[in-house]
Structure 1
């Protein structure tokens, strides 16, 4: 069963600087994390049924299972990606891990 990480980035102080760093620096770092099978990001505004969301960007990374996620973030590449988040996520970030299944 696959497992996913949902990373929700709140609106940063400087959205343009966030986007530049995220796509030019963070995405290449994140792709180096061992075990990443799929990497998706939201495009355009993140909205809710009630209107605007407090989130600027949402990323979904897919791994084989939860053990692969735990191993990935214990790796040097995972640690580098986690450390990089502090450099650009000025609005705050939420990370959630879970096993994913189709219904």
Structure 2
């Protein structure tokens, strides 16, 4: 299984980020067909009590590289990707990996 991970840096305004994320970005992402599973994480810190390097993480799972390509290049995938600029005021990193526990 392929996993696309979106790592969000700490936003300038966390409250505005959360509102936009929940009311606009997630509904937009939900229109993408072909996502096998979606997991979201809001980081609370490091084990030693420090601030986490990232604020949030979204993990989108796909059955194959072809499915990920089809989904992300669709109009809905492109709209979701383009929307990142509207909320990721702390920066965003997107990486792709292959899960090894399947």
Tell whether the structures are fold-level matches, with TM greater than 0.5. yes
| Distance in structure 1 (CA, Å) of the matches to 2:40 and 2:98 | 19
Gaps in structure 1 of 5+ consecutive residues: none
- TM-score by length of structure 1 reads 0.89
Q: Within 5 Å, give how 1:4-83 maps onto structure 2.
A: 4-45=3-44, 47-50=45-48, 51-83=50-82
Contact 1:11 1:55 in 2 (8 A): yes
| C-alpha RMSD of matched pairs (Å) | 1.5
SS at match of 2:55: strand
Per-residue CA deviations over 1:13-41 (Å, capped at 9, x if unaligned) read 00010011011111111111121111111
**Higher strand share goes to which structure?**
1
Per-residue CA deviations over 1:60-85 (Å, capped at 9, x if unaligned) read 11111122111111100000001111
| Shift of residue 44, structure 1, vs aligned partner | 4.9
- TM-score by length of structure 2 reads 0.90
Gaps in structure 2 of 5+ consecutive residues: none
